[in-house]
Amino acid sequence: MQFTDSDIQIFQAFAKVAQRTASFSDITIKAIAEEVGISRQAMYQSHFRNTDELLTSLYYYVDQDIQDEIKAVVTERTGSPSIIHHLVYAVLPLIYDKRAFFQILYSDKINSTWNGFMEDRYSDLLLPLFQDRLYMGVVVPATVQSKVIIHEFIGLVSIWMNQTEPVLPEAFAPILIYALNNSASTMINN
């Protein structure tokens, strides 16, 4: 997807309005238009009809470079034991660069469909990294494993983005790698 400078200004205005409001329902097209300096009618006619449409476009905007980078890493590194390391160091700087948006997406203010969006975007993309596994006589499908990793990653990034001042990517990367490389039972028992 291509985004214009106007789209990006609207996304930035959305983030500013979201920071000032108590909940997603308090974010209005009128407030965003005022922040941008255009009329509400111009916003409806030329940009976004409602905040849900704007939010969906924002999802694609914040994720486009990240998805491109993940595609490249998955393509180059399928089967590599260090793929988590490569993914983390490729993706965290991109998240950090757009942290003003991610802090809104991961906040309590936005009761969003972000998790579902991420699952839809990445389940098939990450699938080549997994294979069905037999555990305790039950097959754990590769699709389930892929979704678990996606949600684990989302949860860990959420912790990072919900800090008042998120640490730099290089400081958070070892934490993320540790959490992704270790099971819950390993972390609890050690």
Query: At 113, which helix (H) or strand (E)?
Result: none
- Given a cut of 70, is residue 185 above it in pLDDT? yes
List pLDDT tens digits, range 108-126: 777 668 888 999 999 999 9
- What CATH class is the domain 5-189? mainly alpha
Please state, in angstroms and rounded to a whole number, the distance separating the CA atoms of residues 178 and 157. 13
List pLDDT tens digits, range 124-167: 999 988 899 999 999 999 999 999 999 999 999 999 999 989 99
Under a CB-based contact definition with an 8 Å cutoff, are residues 31 and 17 in contact?
Answer: yes
Can you give the pTM of this predicted structure? 0.87
Q: What's the mean pLDDT in 20-42? A: 90
Q: State the Cα torsion 121-123-129-132 to the nearest 10°.
A: -170
Cβ neighbours around 96 below 10 Å, total: 17
